């Protein structure tokens, strides 16, 4: 029997209008050959971080408090008067610049406070958006979670401070550890070696090669608009049940955990059990659900392989014992179709949604669960079809 999941929650929305018809996804959405292809699915919308080579350019004997924060230069294709807010700027150009400025403001806040306890709510406020929306947008557009960016920036600045100091003005490892947010020099040393492959002591030695993370910058490239297919549908609450996983985004662990979770569920027969328990009139099939419970500090969130909740006790009895019940609240959904081989097409779609559609639309993330609705067929086929559902609300 399914248990109730206390973790999965979402803010209430306005009363739902009559439910619109869901896209037709046949009940047999997970045929045996289709289930096997799920093992090739990577974490949804995640991208590998873009690391940059850094070289020591000058001596720095002081760490975070005196590290200058310089706004990244951007290439927009606009004249100077346009960049400064000319009235002649077209609406979409203004929207893009506004998005860029807000994201740059959030990076400025992070860089100014790397040596202290960061308030993730204030980071999001700097970008003038909700915490959930900011965390998701940053991860998809920047290719790394906010927490991971902060961790690596702190370690990178520590590495620069260690390598720049001479014999007479060496910074102490214990001081760097504290300012980088570690409880002890040992914990700092272990994290440092994992990141750079050398110890803090070795980083002091001349000629040490450091692969560091530089301050991120957001660029806006204006080009001919490419239409993006989507529709907005209002739907009532959806009662679901599913198999949960607490996924960890640190070092891209979710890229390995989620595919492994699918493989484990298939191997244990859980997918067959979910199919048998699925309501006869279900049009959503088996879904991947990213819950809206992201913990910014631990970089974890709940991921579920889910179906609409079975209607009868007999059907519920077929569910795997690990299943939990949860409700996807009523919402207005931005629904984006994905066509093409699953891995490449859906990753590209996620990036376009957050880097192109959101900055240029009148919507922002409503903070609810995100769904991927799969259809039957070969997931590697050129015409494979699935959908991404994101709860949205009008911007103020």
Structural tokens at position 310:
């079975």
- The dihedral through the CA atoms of 201, 205, 209, 213 has a sign that is positive
Three-state SS at 189: helix
Q: Do domains 3-47+226-394 and 64-204 have the same CATH topology?
A: no
Q: What is the pTM of this model?
A: 0.66
Three-state SS at 324: strand
Please report how many Cα atoms fall inside a 13 Å half-sphere around the Cα of residue 371, on the Cβ side.
Answer: 29
* Alpha carbons 213 and 52: distance in angstroms, whole number: 6
* Alpha carbons 143 and 248: distance in angstroms, whole number: 15
* Alpha carbons 292 and 300: distance in angstroms, whole number: 11
Three-state SS at 371: strand
Place of tokens 């975070």: 64
The one-digit pLDDT tens for each residue of the chain (396 residues) are 555 444 444 434 433 333 333 343 333 443 433 333 333 332 333 322 222 223 233 322 223 332 222 222 322 232 223 322 333 334 455 455 577 888 899 999 999 999 888 888 899 888 888 787 888 888 888 888 898 899 999 999 999 888 876 554 567 888 888 888 898 999 999 999 999 998 898 888 767 788 889 998 877 655 546 678 999 999 999 999 999 999 988 777 887 898 899 899 999 999 999 989 999 888 898 899 999 888 877 888 999 999 999 989 999 999 999 999 999 999 999 999 999 998 788 888 988 898 888 888 888 888 899 999 988 888 889 999 999 999 999 886
* Alpha carbons 177 and 167: distance in angstroms, whole number: 19
For the domain 3-47+226-394, what is the CATH code?
3.20.80.10
Which of these, 309, 349, 259, lies nearest to 37 by C-alpha position? 259
pLDDT at residue 211, as a whole number: 86
pLDDT at residue 308, as a whole number: 96
Asked if 249 contacts 301 with a C-beta cutoff of 8 angstroms, the reply is: yes
Place of tokens 């909700």: 130
Helices then strands, each counted (H, E), the chain? 14, 10
In the chain, where the domains are located: 3-47+226-394, 64-204
- The dihedral through the CA atoms of 110, 363, 10, 242 has a sign that is negative
Interacting residues of 78 by C-beta distance below 8 A, sequence separation 6+:
89, 93, 97, 222
For the domain 64-204, what is the CATH code?
1.10.10.60
Within 10 angstroms of residue 74's Cβ, the number of other Cβ atoms is 16
């Amino acid at each position: 029997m399914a248990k109730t999941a206390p973790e999965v929650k979402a803010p209430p929305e306005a009363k739902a209008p009559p439910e619109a018809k869901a896209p037709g996804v046949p009940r047999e959405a997970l045929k045996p050959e289709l289930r096997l292809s799920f093992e090739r699915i990577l974490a949804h919308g995640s991208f590998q971080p873009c690391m940059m080579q850094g070289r020591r350019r000058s001596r720095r004997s002081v760490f975070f408090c005196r590290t200058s924060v310089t706004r990244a230069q951007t290439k927009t294709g606009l004249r100077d008067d346009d960049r400064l807010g000319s009235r002649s700027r077209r609406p979409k150009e203004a929207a893009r610049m506004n998005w860029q400025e807000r994201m740059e403001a959030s990076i400025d806040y992070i860089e100014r406070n790397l040596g202290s306890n960061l308030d993730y709510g204030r980071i999001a406020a700097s970008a003038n958006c909700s915490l959930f929306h900011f965390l998701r947008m940053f991860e998809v557009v920047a290719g790394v979670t906010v927490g991971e960016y902060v961790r690596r920036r702190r370690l990178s600045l520590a590495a620069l401070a260690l390598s720049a100091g001479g014999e007479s003005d060496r910074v102490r490892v214990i001081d760097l550890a504290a300012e980088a947010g570690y409880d002890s020099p040992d914990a700092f040393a272990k994290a440092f070696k994992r990141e750079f492959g050398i110890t803090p002591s070795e980083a002091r030695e001349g000629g040490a090669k450091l692969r560091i993370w530089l301050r991120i910058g957001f660029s806006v490239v204006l080009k001919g608009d490419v239409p993006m297919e989507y529709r907005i549908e209002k739907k009532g609450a959806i009662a679901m049940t599913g198999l949960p996983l607490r996924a960890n985004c640190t070092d891209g662990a979710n890229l390995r955990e989620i595919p492994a979770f699918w493989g484990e569920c298939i191997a244990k027969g859980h997918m067959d059990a979910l199919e048998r328990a699925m309501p006869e009139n279900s049009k959503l099939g088996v879904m991947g659900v990213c819950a809206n419970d992201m913990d910014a500090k631990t970089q974890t969130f709940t991921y579920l392989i889910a179906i609409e909740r079975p209607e009868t006790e007999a059907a519920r009895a077929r569910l795997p014992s690990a299943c939990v019940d949860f409700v996807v609240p009523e919402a207005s959904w931005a629904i984006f179709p994905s066509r093409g081989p699953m891995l490449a097409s859906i990753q590209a779609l996620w990036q376009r949604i957050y880097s192109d559609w959101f900055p240029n639309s009148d919507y922002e993330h409503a903070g609810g669960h995100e769904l991927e609705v799969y259809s039957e067929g070969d997931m590697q086929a050129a015409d494979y079809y699935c959908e991404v559902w994101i709860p949205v609300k009008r911007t103020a």
